[in-house]
Amino acid sequence: MESIIIQNNIQIIKKDIKNITLRVKPTCEVILTAPLLTTDEHIEYILKKRKDWISKKIEFYKANYKPQIKEYVSGESFKYLGKNYRLKIIQSDKEGVKLQRGYIQIFIKNKSDLEKKKKLLNDWYLLKAENYLKKIIAKYSSIVNVDIQNIRIRQMKTRWGSCNSAKSYINLNSDLIKKPSYCIEYVIFHELAHLIHPNHSREFYNYLSTYMPDWKKRKERLELPI
C-alpha cells in the first residue's frame, strides 16, 4: 500500500518502510518518503527542520544542473561507470549495444527509431548493472557476513537503493551503473549494513565509518547529477 500527495511542491510518499527519507533530485524535485503511519504533523516538523538544507540543495542544482533531452544520435554523451562516452549509431541487421573503441555503439536496423534505440541502450545498461553490482555485493557481503535472500536490480524513481532487513533482501537502482565505482560501492555497502543495523542510528553510521571511512565523500559525489 502506498499513498502519494503533493504539498507545497514537495512530493510526500507514504509506504511500507521503517524510516523517513528526504531527497532533492537534480531536477529540483523534493521527495519525502515516510512510513505509512507517520502523522502529517511529524512530516511538517521534518520539512520545517530541513528547510535550509532543502533550499541549499535546490540552489546548488539550479546553478550546476542543466537537464538535457537526449535524442539518441551519434555524438551525444552517455555515462558509464562515471565516465562520458560518445554514442555511435550504426545501421545493422543484427541489433545490440557494445562498448568499444571509446564509444557506446548502438547497432540498429532503423537509425531513426528513437524508442528502439532507447530500449536497446536501457537493456544494455540493465545487463551491465546486474553483472557489475553483483560483483560489488560479493565483495562487501563478506564484511557484513549476513545471508542475502534476494537482490533486485531495477530502475527506481526516488532512491538509489533500499533494504528490507526482516526479509533480508535489497533493491538497487540500475542507474547506479552510470555512477563511479566508489559511489556504487557506497550505496551497496550502505544497504548491506542495514541488514545488521536496520535504521539510521548512531551504531549504523559508526559501522559504516569503520569499514568505509570516506563514505561521506562518496555520498556527496553520488548526489551530483548523472
Let me know whether 28 and 54 are in one domain.
yes
Identify residue 78 by its one-letter amino acid code.
F
Cell numbers placing 109:
536496423
The string of pLDDT tens digits covering residues 59-93 is 988 887 776 789 999 999 999 999 999 999 999 99
In a domain, residue 90? The reply is: yes
Let me know whether 197 and 136 are in one domain.
yes
In a domain, residue 70? The reply is: no
Indicate the DSSP class of residue 123: H
Cell numbers placing 199:
535504521
Give the number of domains in the chain. 3
pLDDT band at 146 (very low <50, low <70, confident <90, very high): confident
Give the separation between CA 196 and CA 50, rounded to whole angstroms. Answer: 27
Q: Can you list the positions of beta strands (E) in 25-167?
A: 30-35, 77-80, 83-91, 96-100, 103-108, 150-154, 161-164
**Mean of pLDDT values over 175-195:** 96
Cell numbers placing 223:
548526489
Let me know whether 132 and 216 are in one domain.
yes
Q: How confident is the model at residue 112, as a pLDDT?
A: 94
Residue 106 belongs to what domain range?
Answer: 77-126
In a domain, residue 69? The reply is: no
**Mean of pLDDT values over 43-57:** 94
Q: Any idea what the CATH number is for the domain that residue 180 is in?
A: 3.30.2010.10
Let me know whether 48 and 100 are in one domain.
no
Give the separation between CA 35 and CA 24, rounded to whole angstroms. Answer: 19
Give the separation between CA 34 and CA 46, rounded to whole angstroms. Answer: 11
Evaluate whether 188 touches 137 at the Cβ level (below 8 Å): yes
